[in-house]
Amino acid sequence: MLDINYIRQNPDEVVAMLHNRQLSVEEPKLQQLLACDKERKQLIQRSDEQKALRNKVSKEIADIKKSGKGSSEELIMQMKSVSEAITKMDTSLSLLEEEMENILLALPNKLHPSVPVGRSAADNQIFGEPVSFVHDLDFPVKNHLELGKSLGILDFERGAKVSGAGFPAYIGKGARLERALINFMLDTHSERHGYTEVFPPFLVNRDSLRGTGQWPKFADQVYHIGEDDLYAIPTAEVPVTNLHRGEMLDTESLPISYTAYSACFRREAGSYGKDTRGFLRVHQFNKVEMVKFTRPEASYAALEEIRSHAEAILVALKIPYRVLLLCSGDISANATKCYDIEVWSPAEQKYLEASSCSNFEDYQARRSNIRFKPDNKSKPEFVHTLNGSGLATSRLMVSLLEHYQTPEGNIRVPEVLQRYTGFEEI
């Protein structure tokens, strides 16, 4: 969440951020927050004055009782009234602070100055040049659904029978290829890029979702297990970031870099009418995640590093892709700056998002209370958190199958995956 001190000192900046994010409808909430903050200060001042009075008179009462001269009954009755007033003010203060926290939890993050101002995805900027690789596709190409069905490696129909639409089943060499992709990405990030591998829980509590920003704003996107009050993770970012929730990190340990595989579960509420064929939109998919905890001054260099690590996977696989710098109207509410990496689908004739790399600055760390001390004499500060998909396999599988198909309808296995699959062709 945003620092209330930042909001007090820079209300116009926050208003401009809401407008740039196409969220001007949230401006009344900001004004409500500032009004609550002003009332809170006044309540604290009045409560402190009454508590000081109570302490002073309580000492006078004690002195009267000790001396045995005079009666303290009238003062005791006065202090009873003061105590009741303090209790009411404390109750009002608690309700005000709860209201303020709810608003703070819903407000989006700041935007980095380099984020282009725009209304929608149409205003995102291409970052650098699209990267191409030569694939001989001089024949009528099949899409990933046709290839998966003809080769018997993907079964969306039986997956739907078991769970419902959007829950794919990988069969035989398709399952082996998926596992090969995951293992290759984990090995690359842990062995070449310096990440520590984590195998996290796939179910988390509400505090974890709150810590990374999925709760309460995106509560409708997560699957809830009511009996246990647990939630299926939408991304490994949630459990991995929350590993350090409530901790004071050792300064010498920063930056901390984790990579993790997880299945990801998303309800995709509000996606009706969008293209839902095959892997284009699913409720369950696999992803390898990269998560970093850094000192504030190092976080934007770390963002470029995460992006380069995600790109390295696509270069190794020889999958054509491009990088987008998201505009203010398309960036997620939690991020200050974000790159999307999109892979090319020759059958769909369009780019498909396969990775998103974001800097959250201290937005998540403030919600999760993850801090460090710059040195022994300094006050604790919040770390900056970052994450990037390294990568999501569903859209990546679309591009891989379509680029590596042969005129006969088979699939050549990318060279870097062959030691994981044990075969060169499907």
Active site residues: 266, 281, 353, 356, 395
| Residue closest to 285 by CA, chosen among 174, 389, 168 | 168
* Integer Cα distance of 310 and 351 in angstroms: 16
Q: Which of 315, 321, 307, 344 is nearest to 130 (CA)?
A: 321
The answer to whether residues 188 and 313 touch, using CB atoms and an 8 Å cutoff, is yes
Instruction: Pull the structure tokens for residue 146.
Output: 């046709």
391 cis-preceded (ω within 30 degrees of 0): yes
Say if strands 337-345 and 350-359 run parallel, antiparallel, or are unpaired: antiparallel
Looking at 68-133, list the stretches that DSSP marks H as alpha helix, in order from N- to C-terminal side: 73-106
Are 166 and 193 within 8 A, CB to CB? no
Residues, the chain: 426
Type of residue numbered 286: N
Please give the Cα distance from 117 to 136 (Å, whole number).
Answer: 39
Tell me the HSE value of 335 on the side-chain side, using a 13 A CA sphere: 24
For 29, 48, 88, 114, the CA distances from 36, given in Å and listed in that order, are 10, 18, 17, 32
